[in-house]
Amino acid sequence: MKPFLHLSIRDHDEAVAREFDSIAHFAGLRPGQLVQLRAEQAPLPVIHPDDYSGIIIGGGQYNTSDEVKSETQRRVEADLGQIVDTALASQVPLLGLCYGVGIVTQHLGGLIDRTYGETTSAVEVTLTEHGRTDPLFEGVPDTFMAFTGHKEACSRTPNDSVLLATGTACPVQSYRVGDRAYVTQFHPELDVERLVERMVIYRNAGYFDPDEFDTLVEAARGAGVNEAPGRILRNFVEVFAR
């Protein structure tokens, strides 16, 4: 099997490693079946479509709706935009997680802004009619709980996209472009313990009030997030591995 490629944007070494391990765990990928490039450290190389089974864009500290951007952020967004173009043109399977929504939406002409941000918490995600029949959500209940934590979100999806999942506070939780490019606003790579690990790392990053850390952790443990979100990663691998 050709490996899957994880594109990491995070600037915290521990967060990078834990995201990689979480994706590999829930996707069911063994050592060597998931490889990583860190987009914030150096310009991304040209991606050759025949090298990978698929591409997964992880979360990160940037917001595509930021009015002021560093040179590194502008370069990262340009590099990832080229990845999106390559994936769509060459039919390389693509899955964007959280920050990946911003990259794909912005690059394809949708709208990302601060209207539908969500604090670090568990939210109810509901599949649309299209989502219930999409292979990415095979075996996933019509309604399930998943973890989120984002300052920006998609207010208008790109033209020709298909809405797959929605939520109350954030209407766009997942959509598809074509038949191989997906995004999720929620984090399919997080269960309770992995969420808590990430909260420790980003305690003072503005995703939640640090004084509410213990309360948020207690709420997360009782939120009923099970294996359903992680099934999405396994489905992505099972459908597109080659």
Q: With a cut of 90, say whether residue 119 has pLDDT above it.
A: no
pLDDT at site 171 = 98
Separation between Cα atoms, residue 186 and residue 198, nearest integer Å: 14
Q: What is the pLDDT of residues 199-241, one digit of tens each?
A: 999 898 888 899 999 999 999 999 999 999 999 999 999 999 9
Spatial CA neighbour of 103 closest among 170, 177, 24, 42: 177
pLDDT at site 208 = 87
- Average pLDDT of span 101-109: 96
Give yes or no for a contact between 44 and 57, defined as CB atoms under 8 angstroms apart.
Answer: no
- Average pLDDT of span 117-127: 94
Average predicted confidence (pLDDT) for the chain? 96
pLDDT level of residue 112 (50, 70, 90 thresholds): very high
Domain ranges of the chain: 4-240
Q: With a cut of 90, say whether residue 43 has pLDDT above it.
A: yes
Separation between Cα atoms, residue 61 and residue 11, nearest integer Å: 7
Spatial CA neighbour of 158 closest among 113, 101, 118, 116: 101
Separation between Cα atoms, residue 23 and residue 29, nearest integer Å: 8
pLDDT at site 80 = 97
Domain 4-240 carries which CATH code? Answer: 3.40.50.880
Percentage of the residues of the chain whose pLDDT score is greater than 90: 93
Q: What is the pLDDT of residues 158-170, one digit of tens each?
A: 999 999 999 999 9
- Average pLDDT of span 11-35: 96
